[in-house]
Structure 1
């Protein structure tokens, strides 16, 4: 098996990984365009790691304009095996307070202006995202965050909205009271779907910054309060990330949940009907099954 390489995709508030040895910013070209930024690679306590600022250094991409396909493809090309997504989110639950982390395990995708698959005309494939998060990697992220002193909630449904505006009160109440969502954000979709297509283990850490707009005592989202909470959350996220190498150390085995073989039986296009140009773009993402 290949060696483990963990990628951290940092959202609002997390723009670096401290302590990387031999740290290098690497430009990666992909068939899907340029990633959000160069990717910082190095080693942390013996574990090969990569860091990708989802919005780019200086926060130049909105949630809609993040080049999600290029980001996942670039990480795959670098040899990444596991992806830990860290992102700021709003809370729909009183007990999920600003400053807490939620280890997300389900998503409802309400985005509509983003490319959501590497596959299409000329080479179609359908992967299962019934369980979009790798339970093994999610459990390790949970343990690392708790060891770092963070209040962590295990399991939760993430409502992915298009943005960049925040929710109306009516939307917030719908997502909370009718749909039963736990947190809301703008960036984990289609990221999680694309990671599954690329056969990468994926886990999501939602850093709570606010109560969205449903809460009667907190009113509408206050960007100033969000920024203040982001500072504390980012410190906690860095401590949590620092605890991942010891939990991923040792020889890499096949994912017990099959994330690394998600494309088995997924391709439907007959071999003689596959578009060579499309297949060429999939050299990293689907290289295992294309041979």
Structure 2
């Protein structure tokens, strides 16, 4: 297959379809690593070819620790994607990372466990020691920052994403530890997706949508799920504007 795709998007919680894709076709792909989360939708934004995959499935049936990250990334690469944007719902830790903020993190700390984290995890595969000192592709991040400015969308440049196992939310003590470690955001799906993209030499960046304050970081005594979804809806509405500006579509 391997036709050119200008951009691939992996949608997180709240982003299950990408609006405005024309002449869209669905691709059900079987990979050497099993099935992706859902069919991949490939369509056009203007004269650009865009692929979209719902990370949790279009009905949100797959929890973060059960996502087949290897199949997802491999399938996008197989379809011809060379630039991938992961859209991730996160909690805010740093003071300027409150609900409804859109952030473009530049670092990540992996707290996950028991996930299949590499394409090397199969018999006979080539062992690759990737340079992961900068987990997100700098050029793609710069392009996203410029696109957000053109689209009039305020974004926070940089920050450290702490990836936790899920699906439960974190304790106050865990968030306090993550703050001491230097995390500014907390989410459940940032890894191993970023590392797998690097193994396949894909350009990869994250658009982080802050759904709520992390435990102990806001004024609320408890995290309200209806409030999370309202915040996500507002932040998610900014994503197509950034992507359209990025593509010049």
TM-score between the two structures when normalised by the length of structure 2: 0.94
Q: Which residue of 1 aligns with 2:238?
A: 236
Q: Which residue of 2 aligns with 1:147?
A: 150
Q: What's the CA shift string for 1:24-71, capped at 9, x where partnerless?
A: 111111010000000000121211110000000110100001110000
- 8 Å contact from structure 1 (residues 13, 233) kept in 2: no
Structure 2 CA distance for partners of 1:48 and 1:180, relative to 1, 3 Å: same
Distance in 2 between the 1:145 and 1:66 partners?
Answer: 29
Q: How does 1:280-291 map to 2 (within 5 A)?
A: none
Q: CA deviation at 1:21?
A: 2.1
Q: How does 1:1-291 map to 2 (within 5 A)?
A: 3=4, 5-120=6-121, 121-122=123-124, 123-176=126-179, 178-215=180-217, 217-246=219-248
Secondary structure of the corresponding residue to residue 74 of structure 2: helix
Unpaired runs of 5+ in structure 1? 248-291
Q: CA deviation at 1:82?
A: 0.3
Distance in 1 between the 2:93 and 2:37 partners?
Answer: 29
- 8 Å contact from structure 2 (residues 163, 191) kept in 1: yes
Q: Which residue of 2 aligns with 1:271?
A: none
Distance in 1 between the 2:41 and 2:228 partners?
Answer: 26
Secondary structure of the corresponding residue to residue 207 of structure 1: strand
Secondary structure of the corresponding residue to residue 237 of structure 2: helix
Q: CA deviation at 1:159?
A: 0.1
Q: Name the Cα RMSD after superposition.
A: 1.5
Query: Which of 1 and 2 has greater Rg?
Result: 1
Distance in 2 between the 1:63 and 1:22 partners?
Answer: 30
Distance in 1 between the 2:162 and 2:45 partners?
Answer: 32
Q: CA deviation at 1:220?
A: 3.2
Q: What's the CA shift string for 1:236-271, capped at 9, x where partnerless?
A: 112222222128xxxxxxxxxxxxxxxxxxxxxxxx
Unpaired runs of 5+ in structure 2? none
Structure 2 CA distance for partners of 1:204 and 1:24, relative to 1, 3 Å: same
User: Aligned residue pairs: how many?
Assistant: 245
